């Protein structure tokens, strides 16, 4: 059954516009609470990033859950993976994050986690949507849910992050520029790396409710690149607004994206870990160069649909631990239950310490194929292959690329966009093909 509200990562939209209105979010909390109540469970952890609208949605969720008889544990600003961790370790039945991740401040969203710290199943999301169709009814006053704040939530999560690194890891002498995107990790991530011994210069740690992701963070790595070179740092770490993604900058100021970070983590597991997987999960967007490098190293590689939930599904199907996306959303199931920017960065740092090599040297273990993507904004979400004209243009491009590249067209799961991506061994051919194909898509759907 097709879902009306839930996308690939919860519900997201512009603040004040459907579905991200205060009244809808209150009813969403109530609907989620009703689903929990049917299972005889009654405690939810609620966290948020630093958007000004988070105050409004936090109160709305609290009201809706209370009306359904569900208790609320409020953390305040907390990375998305931190809520996944706290939900699991505090024996809550539901985790809720108020965040639109890497989007601007005027967007917001709601993400859910199960009691195991994983994204909700399609069945549970459909059950919540079914409850939304009913009139909101409040439980008896004696059954209303209560709310309290978890004062030690940041400290709990900081210790968890540190515990995912090897006990022997000492970051003393390592100079790091840390960009927290004026987002959820602004108080937490600096403490993690400092307490492990690193010399940390933090930027993007002055949120005002309106500046989340603004010219900082993983969606704007240029700020971090400049800072790394200016401070002559060993490397830079860039998180996004809710800190479930990470990109890094090497000492030369070069960007190290999610594919390269995933490759570094996978190779470190192969070389230094007793628990070795036979493969890695990427997505349809993962660079062909990573696939080639992993296979040359004797590791299998499979592609899932774009979205961390699909990477997770494939990891579970294969029984593997490591997977991720080019955007820097990396999952290390041997360390945590969901994508975690801070934890992933620690895995890369442990590879640097163990190997004695720089980040620049480690990333050069794989050679990226030229890849270019153009986002075409459309009026409403649509399947790009619903047009015969577009389908034919894709086939023609694939024939011209032959075995030296690939073409990918996909609709964004969170925005009214069609992403046109071409990858191949010849950079100029890649640019020519993506521009031709983007023009066809624009003429058909814009």
d(C-alpha 237, C-alpha 442), whole Å: 35
d(C-alpha 332, C-alpha 266), whole Å: 10
Cβ(277)–Cβ(316) under 8 Å?
no
d(C-alpha 345, C-alpha 343), whole Å: 5
The angle at the Cα of 393, spanning 391 to 397, to the nearest 5 degrees, equals 120
Helix 341-355, helix 153-163: angle, nearest 10: 30
> Element (H or E) spanning 351, and its range?
helix 341-355
In the residue annotation, 101 being an active-site residue is answered as: yes
The distance of Cα 425 from the centroid of its chain, to the nearest Å, equals: 29
| 333-366 core/surface letters (b: 16 or more CB in 10 A; e: else) | bebbbbbbbbbbbbbbbbbbbeeeeebbebbeeb
* Joined tokens for residue 152: 């030690």
Cβ(343)–Cβ(335) under 8 Å?
yes
Cβ(273)–Cβ(262) under 8 Å?
no
- What sign does the CA torsion over 178, 180, 182, 188 have? negative
The active-site residue out of 53, 66, 99, 101 is 101
CA distances from 342 to 54, 163, 190, 305, 436 (A): 22, 12, 10, 24, 39
Helix 80-89, helix 153-163: angle, nearest 10: 100
**What letter does residue 369 receive in the DSSP assignment?**
P
Please report the DSSP string for 190-225 in residue order: HHHHHHTT-EEEEES----SS-TTSS-STT-THHHH
Q: In 12-169, which ranges are continuous DSSP H helix?
A: 22-38, 54-67, 80-89, 122-132, 153-163
Cβ(98)–Cβ(75) under 8 Å?
no
69 by DSSP, 3-state: which?
A: coil
Q: Facing residues of 201 across strands?
A: 177
Residues noted as catalytic: 101
């Amino acid at each position: 059954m097709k879902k009306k509200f839930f996308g690939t990562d919860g519900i997201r939209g512009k603040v004040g516009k459907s579905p991200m209105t205060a009244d809808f979010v209150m009813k969403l909390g109530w609907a989620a609470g009703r689903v929990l109540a049917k299972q005889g469970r009654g405690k939810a952890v609620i966290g948020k990033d630093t958007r000004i609208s988070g105050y409004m949605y936090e109160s709305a969720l609290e009201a809706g859950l209370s009306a359904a008889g569900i208790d609320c544990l409020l953390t305040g600003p907390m990375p998305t993976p931190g809520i996944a961790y706290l939900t699991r370790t505090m024996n809550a039945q539901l985790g809720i994050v108020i965040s639109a991740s890497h989007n601007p401040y005027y967007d917001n969203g709601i993400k859910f986690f199960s009691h195991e710290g994983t994204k909700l199943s399609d069945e549970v999301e459909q059950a919540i949507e079914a409850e939304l169709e009913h009139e909101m009814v409040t439980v008896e006053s004696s059954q209303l849910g209560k709310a309290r704040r978890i004062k030690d939530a940041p400290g709990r999560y900081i210790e968890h992050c540190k515990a995912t690194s090897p006990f022997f890891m000492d970051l003393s002498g390592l100079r790091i520029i840390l960009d927290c995107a004026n987002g959820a990790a602004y108080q937490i991530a600096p403490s993690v790396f400092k307490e492990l011994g690193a010399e940390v210069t933090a930027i993007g740690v002055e949120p005002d409710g309106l500046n989340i992701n603004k010219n900082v963070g993983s969606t704007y790595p240029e700020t971090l690149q400049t800072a790394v070179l200016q401070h002559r740092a060993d490397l830079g770490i860039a998180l996004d607004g809710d800190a479930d993604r990470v990109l890094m900058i090497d000492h030369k100021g070069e960007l190290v994206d999610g594919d390269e970070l995933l490759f570094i983590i996978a190779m470190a597991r192969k070389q230094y870990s007793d628990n070795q997987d036979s493969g890695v999960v990427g997505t349809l967007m993962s660079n062909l160069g990573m696939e080639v490098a992993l296979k040359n190293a004797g590791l299998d590689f499979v592609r899932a649909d774009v979205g961390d939930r699909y990477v997770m599904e494939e990891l579970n199907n294969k029984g593997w631990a490591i997977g991720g996306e080019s955007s820097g959303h990396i999952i290390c199931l041997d360390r945590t239950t969901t994508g975690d920017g801070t934890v992933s960065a620690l895995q890369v740092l442990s590879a640097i310490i163990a190997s004695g090599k720089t980040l620049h040297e480690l990333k050069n273990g794989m050679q990226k194929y030229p890849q270019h993507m153009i986002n075409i904004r459309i009026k409403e979400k649509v399947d790009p292959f619903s047009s015969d004209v577009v389908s034919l243009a894709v086939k023609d491009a694939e024939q011209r690329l032959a075995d030296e590249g690939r073409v990918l067209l996909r609709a964004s799961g969170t925005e009214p966009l069609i992403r046109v991506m071409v990858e191949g061994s010849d950079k100029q051919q890649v640019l020519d093909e993506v521009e031709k194909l983007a023009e066809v898509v624009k003429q058909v759907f814009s």
